[in-house]
Structure 1
């Protein structure tokens, strides 16, 4: 009986500790970055080591209540143009955020859906312009935030330095990365007389997004938002420091305690499996949509390049510093979920 209980406890623990699922959206109706395929490959390569299920798409029809409800987070990766979502799809995404879904924006994600005030409040601001691509030196402002772990005090590489139409701090953003404005040559390409605040914002997080207010009745709260303006070049996505920056911000967002990964009462998030065939109790399924002329996905491609899904064993997500702004409910939610599953198994045995 002891052996049986031990096995069942192991299964129960693996069930509740299965990894979160993230939908990565790469559709464009404006400028399209050459780095998008390489950024997808880079995220696929990190899925196993970082314990995150990624699904990649350019199909806006996936932005509906049922489909979005399967995900603990949505990442907009170099999305450009006002038409990446129509009004009903945008409303479904807004509702997802109000239901507790988490959001991550990368690079040109500030250059889409500018007419949706809730989206601008969720991501923090709107893109204005950037000077020519050139080396610049970036400076961490908060070395304890998970997105900044491993980032040097002066981080120099070739990048587009984004400027914005408003200060993201006006909507509650905490800026974690700035740029030394003397390290690059600026330009006067602004479309207006905008104030983005000082120090120059480059990456930031928002704990309770104004764009997701008010939360849906029954939701444990609104999710988190993280944005970085970095990521223009393919070579940047090969840099371990940059990948640690992106994955650290993503994992911080996922630990909001407002989705099913950490909260069994949440309204959205990956439905945890009833059984597991992997030793770690988790799997990775990465699908990538190939672009058609209208920017929608036409096929699904796994990490092996085949038109199928693939599963690989993945380790748990790493813990984050106690002073990084993470809600206490995240860890409590995991503990309670494990305890509940264990209690249920023991109850069946008795």
Structure 2
């Protein structure tokens, strides 16, 4: 049996960065952009309501207070430029869809130049963090979400963002508990997780993994329910270098109780610290060793015909 997580922590809602208690060797103050434009589906965990921070943002404010991080929360893609990004130590995506289009949330889109500015920013030595639907962003050739082409691996022809983040969302099945095996227990955030972890979550089935990713955990897809997971085990969390910069991604983060869970928070905080460069870890490519069947995607299932309209 895999290790289950402890009961979720109850986090107080916060609307600003909390005061930070100094210690003998405080971490340097870091500024992080948490970008949540949803040109596709907007997840409730990052939705702004009545002008208040989202659930994920409230959690990040708490974590920021503990780790000396300041967050800027934005859904405005038009701001992306070399000068705008220069003020941040890392950029954190929880996004969906083609961010160069206004899309679902009607927030200002990113320009193609802004997209390239993100890549250049990270290559220069900065950090990038992505959770959950950050892999459901900038799909290759805007491929259909329903057609069989969504199930193909594109290799070097994949969108530049897919190559950058390290993988691409295909589909998800019903929420369920799933076992994840830790492949590098020495990586920041995984030191106390144990050999396995798992919890109720909306688990993504992923594809088009960039060959140089350093896999941190692998999900036991064959044991899961649903056609989406009829495939060999594949990565669920990883890290990679992008030039002089650092990219870290986890497929977790759909549910509110995941964001308040201590194990998820430990994994996330470790990933953010590594992306910032505040902790060190080598990330050699290990996809073939940790998940040799990862490039085998699930079978395509024709969607049911639409129900006839009621008369």
- The 5 A counterparts of 1:173-252 are 173-188=213-228, 199-206=233-240, 208-209=241-242, 212=243, 222-252=244-274
Inter-partner Cα distance in structure 1 for 2:257 and 2:249: 20
- The 5 A counterparts of 1:1-350 are 18-36=28-46, 37-77=54-94, 79-84=95-100, 85-115=110-140, 117-168=159-210, 170=211, 172-188=212-228, 199-206=233-240, 208-209=241-242, 212=243, 222-255=244-277, 324-325=281-282
Q: Across the two proteins, how many residue pairs are aligned to each other? A: 228
What are the ranges of 5 or more consecutive residues in structure 1 without an aligned counterpart? 1-12, 213-221, 256-316, 328-350
What CA deviation, in whole Å up to 9, does each residue of 1:88-112 have, x standing for no partner? 2212222212322211111000111
Inter-partner Cα distance in structure 2 for 1:48 and 1:82: 32
Pick closer, same or farther for the CA change 1:189–1:140 going to 2, 3 Å: closer
Inter-partner Cα distance in structure 2 for 1:326 and 1:228: 15
Task: Classify the secondary structure of the residue corresponding to 1:205.
Answer: strand
Q: Looking at CA atoms only, which structure, 1 or 2, has the larger radius of gyration?
A: 1
Residue 154 of structure 1: how far off its partner (Å): 2.6
> How high is the TM-score relative to the length of structure 2?
0.67
Inter-partner Cα distance in structure 1 for 2:28 and 2:283: 20
Inter-partner Cα distance in structure 2 for 1:90 and 1:120: 12
Residue 32 of structure 1: how far off its partner (Å): 0.9
What CA deviation, in whole Å up to 9, does each residue of 1:108-146 have, x standing for no partner? 001112348332121002111111111212221111001
Inter-partner Cα distance in structure 2 for 1:226 and 1:17: 20
- Residue number in structure 1 paired with 2:8: none
> How high is the TM-score relative to the length of structure 1?
0.60
The question of whether the paired residues in 2 share the 8 Å contact of 1:149 and 1:244 is answered with: no
| Larger RCO of the pair (alpha carbons < 8 Å, separation 6+) | 1
**CA RMSD, aligned part only?**
2.6
The question of whether the paired residues in 2 share the 8 Å contact of 1:252 and 1:326 is answered with: no
The question of whether the paired residues in 1 share the 8 Å contact of 2:205 and 2:228 is answered with: no
What CA deviation, in whole Å up to 9, does each residue of 1:164-198 have, x standing for no partner? 23233x1x1010111223442031489xxxx9xx6
- Residue number in structure 2 paired with 1:217: none
Task: Classify the secondary structure of the residue corresponding to 2:92.
Answer: strand
The question of whether the paired residues in 1 share the 8 Å contact of 2:37 and 2:99 is answered with: no
